[in-house]
Amino acid sequence: MLLTIAVVLVGYAAWTVAEVVRNTGADDRNASEAIVVLGAAQYDGTPSPVLRSRLDHALELYEQGVAPEIVLTGSKQEADRFTEAYAGFTYLLNAGVPESAMAVVTDGDSTYESLAATARVLESQGVYRVTLVSDGYHNRRLLGIASELGLSGGVSSSTDGLSVATLGRESVAVGLGELFGFRRLDNWG
């Protein structure tokens, strides 16, 4: 019995690692209704290199006609003057994206909370098919969270960002999220 449990646990762990790695390089450029950019650090309104990479990738997708709208997500740290979403909004506005083609969602202090707030905003517009933009290591968890929130679509990575540490952390998060639910996992954190 213990051997069976051990084999199942090892098999499940291997599956989650394989899923994270398999989805790392995903680049879904199929038509969707909105491009959702996951927030990352900003410095007094200036996007960090990670956020800038995500924004540049979203701009590329927008210019290719993947979706007519870009949704920028991300709140702010306690001492910050600007949110991650606002830093992204001004960056893309300066890059030529019309204000009317962007939405800003600043609710949420985690990936789950940000996507849940985004899903509520998009649902009020009748939008459910999205292209999620973040670092590639995040892709499998994003797909799981989006599915749980009623969003469909795909992911398009700005970078892979995969390291042993991120592979381990994301594999655990995907494994636990799939078993217990991503909302419940977020509540534990």
Note the pLDDT tens digit of each residue in 14-44.
Answer: 999 999 999 998 999 999 999 999 999 999 9
Q: What is the mean pLDDT of residues 144-172?
A: 92
In the chain, the domains with their CATH numbers are 26-188 (3.40.50.620)
Amino acid 64: pLDDT:
98
pLDDT tier at 65, thresholds 50, 70, 90: very high
Report DSSP letters for the chain, one per residue. Answer: -HHHHHHHHHHHHHHHHHHHHHHHT-B--S--SEEEEPP--EETTEEPHHHHHHHHHHHHHHHTTS-S-EEEE----TT-SS-HHHHHHHHHHHTT--GGGEEEE---SSHHHHHHHHHHHHHHTT--EEEEEE-GGGHHHHHHHHHHTT-EEEEEES-----HHHHHHHHHHHHHHHHH-HHHHHHH-
Other residues' Cβ atoms within 10 Å of the Cβ of residue 133: 29
Note the pLDDT tens digit of each residue in 138-151.
Answer: 999 999 999 999 99
Note the pLDDT tens digit of each residue in 76-134.
Answer: 988 889 999 999 999 999 999 999 999 999 999 999 999 999 999 999 999 999 999 99
pLDDT tier at 45, thresholds 50, 70, 90: very high
pLDDT tier at 162, thresholds 50, 70, 90: confident
Does the pLDDT value for residue 189 go beyond 80? no
Query: What is the average pLDDT value for the chain, to the nearest integer?
Result: 94
Q: What is the mean pLDDT of residues 59-75?
A: 98
Mean pLDDT lowest for which of 16-25, 52-61, 154-163?
A: 154-163
